[in-house]
């Protein structure tokens, strides 16, 4: 890993289009400003880890989901939700949704 030392107000460039600037230092936190093209995702590394965990959780709980959402799988789904009706409803009356 390349390690660089920068002061507040200084920046580094990554490739031709990405700039990372040290905006300020607050105690043990470093505030960074990042300029990058819109197609380059700039996210906290821990968010990627959290999404990865959620994806695995979703895979692990698929069977339980089927039982909860599709109690009569193979026939017309039934039942109402205690929260959003994600099974049946379309929030936009003009949304064709599914028949």
Partner 1 sequence: MPASEDKPVSQVPAAAAIVFPDGLVGLPALVRHRISAVPDTALYEIVSEDDPKIGFIAVPVDNVKPGTCDRLRDRGLIGDGEWVLAILAVHGEPPAITANLAGPLVIDMDKATARQLVVEDPEFPLQVPVREGE
| 15 lines the binding site for partner 1 (CB under 8 A) | no
DSSP state, 87? Answer: T
| 7 lines the binding site for partner 1 (CB under 8 A) | no
Kindly report the number of other CB atoms within 10 A of residue 50's CB atom.
11
| 52 lines the binding site for partner 1 (CB under 8 A) | yes
Q: Would you say 43 and 27 are in contact if contact means Cβ atoms under 8 Å apart?
A: no
What are the backbone angles phi and psi of residue 54, rounded to the nearest 5°? -70, -40
| 34 lines the binding site for partner 1 (CB under 8 A) | no
DSSP state, 13? Answer: E
| 17 lines the binding site for partner 1 (CB under 8 A) | no
Q: Rule CB under 8 A: which residues touch partner 1?
A: 38-39, 41-44, 47-59, 61-62, 64-66, 68-70, 76-77, 81-84, 86-92, 94-99
């Amino acid at each position: 890993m390349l390690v660089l030392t920068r002061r507040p107000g200084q920046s580094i460039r990554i490739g031709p289009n990405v700039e990372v600037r040290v905006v300020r230092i607050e105690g043990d936190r470093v505030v960074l400003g990042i300029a990058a093209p819109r197609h380059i995702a700039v996210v906290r590394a821990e968010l990627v880890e959290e999404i990865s965990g959620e994806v695995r959780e979703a895979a692990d709980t698929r069977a339980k989901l089927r039982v909860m959402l599709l109690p009569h799988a193979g026939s017309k789904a039934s039942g109402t939700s205690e929260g959003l009706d994600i099974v049946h409803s379309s929030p936009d009356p003009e949304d064709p949704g599914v028949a």
